[in-house]
Amino acid sequence: MELIRLAHQTDFDGWRTAARTLRSAGVPPERAVWTVGEGQGDLWAGNAPPRPLDGPAPPFNVPRDFIELAQEVVCHRAEDRWSLLYSLLWRLMGEPQLLKIVTDPEVARALELRRNVVKAVHKMHAFVRFRRVAGAAGETYVAWFRPEHLIVEGATPFFARRFAAMRWSILGPDRSAYWDGRRLLFGPGVPRSAAPPPDDLEALWRTYYAHIFNPARMKLAAMRAEMPKQYWGNLPEASLIPDLIAGAGARTEAMVAAPATVPPKRALKVMQAANRDAPHEGGFIASSTEEVAAAIQGCRRCELWRNATQGVAGAGPRDARMMIVGEQPGDVEDLKGEPFVGPAGQLLDRALAEAGVDRTQAYVTNAVKHFKFEPRGKRRLHKTPDTGEIRACRWWLEQETRLVKPNLIVALGGTAASSVFGRTVAITRERGRELPVSGGGRGFVTFHPSYLLRLPDEAAKAAAFQTFVADLRTAGELASALA
């Protein structure tokens, strides 16, 4: 038996070094025992490393997608992760296509661990709540959060980008992260008692949450799935939830019975300005993407606002090189108020990741900002927006384009393409290359992820996905190369 002692819980480099040595010494997976000895850094636990085989080791290139998978899997808390990865690595030598066999029990297990890790990252992004702390060094923000997996290093750069101007710490039992306004630093875990007590920001947040909670749209199962109870301890709004749920029925009836409210005068003015086109008529010219997002809530340029929960503006950095344009928010996006966060968004994320394009560096938006649907029982079925709705909403897309000034606009599917290029675009014929945008700028068109989701045949779906990934890779290169 070979005993390998990794330095810490996510010691991918140690695992890689040991796995290489074991492989070239011909040590099969069942003869390797993996442990983690906090901080000891003694890979072979005081023993001599296994000797390489006599003669040349069999040539073997580790596929890149395995390395990427392994880097995520090591962040899982599962104790079998190290031996699972070594077993996969061992088998890849003789079965180079192994990772494509998703029904293989070991591949399936690794993919499941990766899914759990990715989910834990999303949960951390959604459920960290900072508390304001005033100290000698000025104002800082502190949160305590126990992620489901060992993801602090991977998940916290998101907060550094989103809260770049604040100084903050996220404390947790495994690791803690600290952002000083310039650098993201990591330290050991701390107990929950190290987090500061509730403050006035939390009271403000609770008031806000109680106001935005819409009893008529309450979906208990979705709430439980999206906001599992284990995170409630973190969330200031959690204490409100039982009462809000209990009172939802009565509030819905009251809302239905109440007469329509009249918006305050100032809000009316902004709404009217937002609905006029030309600046010389007093039309609304946004000076930031945040302003666009706020003004979209008052948009009455077509009728779609009537049935949607809210307008969904674009999201992403103001200086993004690439702007990705979809069709319209779907059911999930309509409820969450963010573009591409439902099933099509997950497919888009997967394709972008495979193409090596960082979604957080792109500005992601839609041609139409309100969800168009047809109620069918309890479900809301997507309906394609018509030409008038696309034309009316182009006003917002143009404002976003003017502010972001992307090097490349990537239209996903026909609706987005007709808005971006001002004409009907034949996706199969024109996809995958640079196209001029009317009125200046460079564009690009590829499939919409929902098109891939709808393909009935698995083989066709896999082939189209690879084309989609290749297109996004080309788009990423164009966006970086174009000045």
Neighbour count for residue 204 (Cβ, 10 Å): 11
Give 14 or 342: the residue with its C-beta nearer to ligand URA.
Answer: 342
Question: CA 148 to CA 136: how far, in whole Å?
Answer: 33
Give 88 or 320: the residue with its C-beta nearer to ligand URA.
Answer: 320
Give 156 or 419: the residue with its C-beta nearer to ligand URA.
Answer: 419
Give 154 or 345: the residue with its C-beta nearer to ligand URA.
Answer: 345
**DSSP calls for 278-313:** -GGGT----SSHHHHHHHHTT--SSSGGGTSSS---
Give 77 or 350: the residue with its C-beta nearer to ligand URA.
Answer: 350
What's the min distance (Å) between Cβ of 82 and ligand URA?
Answer: 38
Question: CA 141 to CA 153: how far, in whole Å?
Answer: 18
Question: CA 238 to CA 229: how far, in whole Å?
Answer: 9
Give 339 or 443: the residue with its C-beta nearer to ligand URA.
Answer: 339
Residues that bind ligand URA (CB under 6 A): 326-330, 333, 339-340, 342, 344-345, 366, 450
What's the min distance (Å) between Cβ of 402 and ligand URA?
Answer: 21
Angle at 204 between CA 145 and CA 271, to 5 degrees: 115
What's the min distance (Å) between Cβ of 431 and ligand URA?
Answer: 16
What's the min distance (Å) between Cβ of 367 and ligand URA?
Answer: 8
What's the min distance (Å) between Cβ of 349 and ligand URA?
Answer: 12
What's the min distance (Å) between Cβ of 348 and ligand URA?
Answer: 8
Question: CA 326 to CA 339: how far, in whole Å?
Answer: 8
What's the min distance (Å) between Cβ of 318 and ligand URA?
Answer: 19
Closest residue to ligand URA, Cβ-based? Answer: 326
Give 399 or 415: the residue with its C-beta nearer to ligand URA.
Answer: 415
Q: What are phi and psi of 439, to 5 degrees?
A: 85, 10
Give 15 or 363: the residue with its C-beta nearer to ligand URA.
Answer: 363
Contacts by 234-238 with C-beta closer than 8 Å and gap 24+?
234/127, 234/128, 234/129, 234/143, 234/144, 234/145, 235/127, 235/129, 236/129, 236/198, 236/202, 236/203, 236/205, 236/206, 236/209, 237/205, 237/206, 237/209, 237/210
What's the min distance (Å) between Cβ of 284 and ligand URA?
Answer: 23
Tokens of 460: 């066709």
Give 169 or 450: the residue with its C-beta nearer to ligand URA.
Answer: 450
What's the min distance (Å) between Cβ of 338 and ligand URA?
Answer: 8
Give 50 or 345: the residue with its C-beta nearer to ligand URA.
Answer: 345
Q: What are phi and psi of 111, to 5 degrees?
A: -65, -35
Give 19 or 410: the residue with its C-beta nearer to ligand URA.
Answer: 410
Query: Among candidates 315, 47, 358, which has minimal Cα distance to 162?
Result: 315
Helices 81-94, 105-127: axis angle to 10 degrees equals: 130
367 in Cβ contact with 419 (< 8 Å): yes
Q: Residue 73 carries which side chain, given as an amino acid letter?
A: V
Give 86 or 371: the residue with its C-beta nearer to ligand URA.
Answer: 371
Neighbour count for residue 74 (Cβ, 10 Å): 24
286 in Cβ contact with 399 (< 8 Å): yes
What's the min distance (Å) between Cβ of 420 and ligand URA?
Answer: 13
Angle at 352 between CA 178 and CA 123, to 5 degrees: 40
Question: CA 86 to CA 22: how far, in whole Å?
Answer: 9
Question: CA 59 to CA 57: how far, in whole Å?
Answer: 6
Q: What are phi and psi of 23, to 5 degrees?
A: -65, -45
Neighbour count for residue 129 (Cβ, 10 Å): 18
Tokens of 158: 């998101």
Question: CA 159 to CA 463: how far, in whole Å?
Answer: 36
Question: CA 199 to CA 389: how far, in whole Å?
Answer: 45
What's the min distance (Å) between Cβ of 327 and ligand URA?
Answer: 4
Give 311 or 330: the residue with its C-beta nearer to ligand URA.
Answer: 330
What's the min distance (Å) between Cβ of 344 and ligand URA?
Answer: 4
What's the min distance (Å) between Cβ of 421 and ligand URA?
Answer: 16
